[in-house]
Amino acid sequence: MTGTATRRPVAFTLALGLLGGGALITTVWSTSRGPMVLFPYAALILVTAAYLRLEHVQHFTRRFSLALGSFMVATVVLYLFIGLVAAKTLFVITPWGHAWRLGIMLAIGAALSAAVAQLTATQES
């Protein structure tokens, strides 16, 4: 089966990342409980893993980059929403402050994406 993740990986990454970012924004906007934001992140990882497994994406690096790309697009969408709309601190924080915050999320996303890429491996048909 050849799907979007194989034929158009950038479109897959952006689409899933934007959907995940929308779910994160909805969660942040509608609840005051901070840990609730973990549920959309978990759903994003599970949906990515399920789709990569269903589509039989063969190369580890492709599965890793698709999972990490989707995670980071969702994270950047949420980060921009909080910085521009919710807290209005995007231009108050120094570039170094933004870099280390996004760097921590990149490290978390890389660890999760490596696990997803490993767990979604399939045999070549």
At 58 the pLDDT is 86
Between CA 9 and CA 66 the distance in angstroms is 7
Q: Taking 90 as the threshold, does the pLDDT of residue 1 lie above it?
A: no
Band the pLDDT of 123: cuts 50, 70, 90: confident
pLDDT of residue 5: 74
Q: Quick one: which of 84, 71, 63, 67 has its CA closest to 23?
A: 71
Give the predicted TM-score (pTM) of the model. 0.93
Residues 6+ apart with CB under 8 A from 70: 12, 13, 16, 17, 20, 44, 48
pLDDT at 3 over 90: no
Cα dihedral 100, 101, 106, 111, rounded to 10, equals 100
d(CA 83, CA 39) in angstroms, rounded, equals 21
Residue 124 has pLDDT above 90, yes or no: no
Length of the chain: 125
Q: What is the pLDDT of residues 43-52, one digit of tens each?
A: 999 999 999 9
- Average pLDDT (28-37) is 92
Greater confidence, 122 or 101? 101
Residue 65 near residue 116 (C-beta atoms within 8 A): no
